[in-house]
Amino acid sequence: MKDLTPVAGVRSTFGTKGLAANVPAESDPLVTRLERRGALVMGKTNTPEFGAGGNTFNEVFGATFNPYDTRRNAGGSSGGAAVSLATGALWLSHGSDHGGSLRTPAAYCGVVGLRTSPGLVAKSSLTGFVGEGVEGPMARSVTDCALFLDAMCGFDPRAPLSFPPPDTPYQEAIQTPLAPRIGWAPDLGGFAPVDADMADHLARAMARLDQTGAEVEEACPALPNLERTYHQLRGFMWTANFAKAPKSLTRHFKPTLRDNLAYGLSLGAEEFAEAQLGRSLIYDNMRVFLDRYDVLACPVVGNMPHAQSEEWVREVGGQSLSGYMDWLRFAFLATTAGLPAMSIPVGFSSDGLPVGLQLIGPPRGEAKLLSVAKWIEEALGGPNGPIDPVTPSR
C-alpha cells in the first residue's frame, strides 16, 4: 500500500517527519476491503511528503530512483509503487492520484496505472467529499490492473462518495477488446509543452496503432480555463486537508507543500464557485467529445525522466516552467472533469527509458478504458516484464 494509506499496526508516515513514528490502530476502508477479498499487504511504498510532487523523496525514507536508470526520477507521488512493480518486488501495487500521481510514475517506470472515477474505490471519510484525489490500481499489465480494480471497487458506507461495483467484472469486460476510435491530442490543443523526443516517439506509436486497425484522428475538445480551474480545485483540497492541522505537523512541511497550502488558504467563495462552474463546462465538452471517440489519447508528461536530484524539471519543449505543477499539466484534464484515465507503456526511448501514453475515458467508463488499453497493449507487443535496476556507468 502507498504510504498515504493507513494500515493497522504498520508504520504509516505519509512521508513526513511529523508522523515518522505513526502506527495507526485502524486500517483505511480500502485496506480492510482488500484483505477481506484475500489480499496480503506486503508493506508500504514510498511517496513524497503527503503526496505533493512528481518526484518521490522525503525526509523519512529518502529518494526512490528509476529502475531503468537509477540516476533519474521514478515519478510521483506513487513512485515507490511503480518501482515495486517494475523491479518485480510486487505483482500488484496500490496508488493514488490527484495531479498525475498514478499516471506519471507508471509512465516513467513502464507499468500500468489507472486513475479511477471518484467514488469507484471508496476512501476514508476525513475529506471524503473531496473527489479530485482518488485511489487506483497499478500493475505490469492491463489484465492485472483489471483484476486489482475488481478487488478494490465496491460500496462502503464509511465513504461519502462510494458506488457499487459494475455488473460485469472488469476482468471479463476486457476479454474481447475491439479496435478503438482514438482522439489524439499531442499537446492538448496547445495546453502543455512537449519535448521533441517525447513528441516523436508518441507520434510513431499513434501511427503504428492507426496502421494496426485503430481509427486515430488528431482532435481535442475546447478546454476553457482548465489551468485556473484545476489549480483552484487543488487549492481547496489542500485547505480541506491541512487548514486545521497542528503546527507540530505543518512545521515539517517542505517549501512546495507550504506553498500549496498558502495558495489554498488565499482562495475565497468566488473562486470556489468559479471552479465548480468551470469544471462543469470542461466535463460537458469532454462528454460530447467522448461520444465520438472511445478515448482521448495524449502524453502523460511532456518529457522523459529527468535527473532525480532535480525536484522538478525547469523547461519542457523550450518553454520555461514556473513550478512543479507546470511540468504535470497533462494530468489536469481527467482530474478536473472527474474522468477515469490511465497510463500504459508504448515502448522505450533511444536511451532505453519507458514511454507512457495517457488514455482518458468517458464518465464512469473504466470498462471501456481498460478494453482500449488492452487492445493497445497487444498491438504494441506488451506488457513489459520486471527488470533488475540499471545504473549506467557513464
Measured over the CA atoms of residue 14, residue 15, residue 16 and residue 19, the dihedral's sign is positive
Given this model, what pLDDT does residue 101 score? Answer: 98
- Whose grid coordinates read 477515469? 340
CA nearest 121: which of 78, 90, 151, 91? 151
pLDDT on residue 394: 61
Catalytic amino acids?
2, 77, 101
Supply the CATH number for residue 67's domain.
Answer: 3.90.1300.10
Examine residue 334 and state whether it is found in any structural domain, yes or no: yes
| pLDDT tens track for 11-58 | 999 999 999 999 999 999 999 999 999 999 999 999 999 999 999 999
Query: Quick one: pLDDT at residue 393?
Result: 72
Q: What is the pTM of this model?
A: 0.97
Asked if 141 contacts 177 with a C-beta cutoff of 8 angstroms, the reply is no
> For the chain, how many structural domains are there in total?
1
Amino acid of residue 394: R
What domain range includes position 87?
17-379
> Could you tell me if residue 11 is inside a domain?
no
In a domain, 8, yes or no: no
Q: How far apart are CA 258 and CA 188, in angstroms?
A: 30
Assigned domain for 100 exists? yes
Domain presence at residue 336: yes
Q: Which residues contact 286 (CB under 8 A, 6 or more apart)?
A: 221, 296, 333, 337, 339, 360
Domain-embedded: residue 4: no
User: All 3 cell numbers of residue 113?
Assistant: 496505472
Domain annotation covers residue 390: no
Report the pLDDT value the prediction gives residue 261, as an integer from 0 to 100.
Answer: 93
pLDDT in tens, the chain (394 residues): 999 999 999 999 999 999 999 999 999 999 999 999 999 999 999 999 999 999 999 999 999 999 999 999 999 999 999 999 999 999 999 999 999 999 999 999 999 999 999 999 998 777 889 999 999 999 999 999 999 999 999 999 989 999 999 999 999 999 999 999 999 999 999 999 999 999 999 999 999 999 999 999 999 999 999 999 999 999 999 999 999 899 889 998 999 999 999 999 999 999 999 999 999 999 999 999 999 999 999 999 999 999 999 999 999 999 999 999 999 999 999 999 999 999 999 999 999 999 999 999 999 999 999 999 999 999 999 999 999 999 887 6
Cβ 297 vs Cβ 183: under 8 Å: yes
Q: What is the largest CA-CA distance in the chain?
A: 58
pLDDT (tens digit per residue) in 139-184: 999 999 999 999 999 999 989 999 999 999 999 999 999 999 999 9
Q: 208 lies in a domain? A: yes
**Is beta strand 181-184 parallel, antiparallel or unpaired with respect to 215-218?**
parallel
Phi and psi at 24, nearest 5°, equal -70, 150
